[in-house]
């Protein structure tokens, strides 16, 4: 399903951006606090974008189940794999965000 692939790619992009911003926030926390805070806020925004895209993914899966039953095993396996990777990445980002505070 092309839409699932698109959403998975976009979620990964948002998480990568969130990571870049929080790393910058931590790098500049002592040197330029205002800029650092901007990067921290942007990291949070990117995480919110990833969450919105994840909700859309869940809606697509739910819609598929309503119309066609359970997704094919290979589609479910790919989703489970990508979801696990994305959740682990999001967890790491949240740890960095928490260390910013």
Tell me the whole-structure pTM to 2 decimals. 0.91
Whether the pLDDT of residue 76 is over 80: the answer is: yes
Residue with tokens 């606090």: 33
Quickly state the pLDDT bin for 16 (edges 50, 70, 90).
very high
- 94 HSE (CA, 13 A, CB side): 10
For the chain, the farthest-separated pair of C-alpha atoms sits apart, in whole angstroms, at: 55
Q: What is the pLDDT of residue 73?
A: 87
Q: Where are the domains of the chain?
A: 2-100
DSSP for 48-75 reads HHHHHHHHHHHHHHHHHHHHHSSPPHHH
């Amino acid at each position: 399903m092309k839409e699932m692939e698109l959403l998975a790619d976009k979620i990964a992009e948002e998480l990568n951006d969130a990571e870049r911003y929080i790393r910058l926030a931590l790098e500049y926390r002592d040197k330029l606090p205002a800029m650092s805070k901007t990067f921290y806020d942007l990291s949070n925004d990117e995480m919110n974008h990833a969450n919105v895209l994840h909700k859309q993914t869940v809606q697509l899966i739910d819609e598929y189940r309503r119309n066609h039953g359970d997704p094919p095993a290979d589609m479910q396996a790919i989703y489970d794999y990508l979801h696990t990777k994305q959740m682990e990445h999001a967890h790491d980002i949240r740890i960095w965000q928490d260390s910013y505070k």
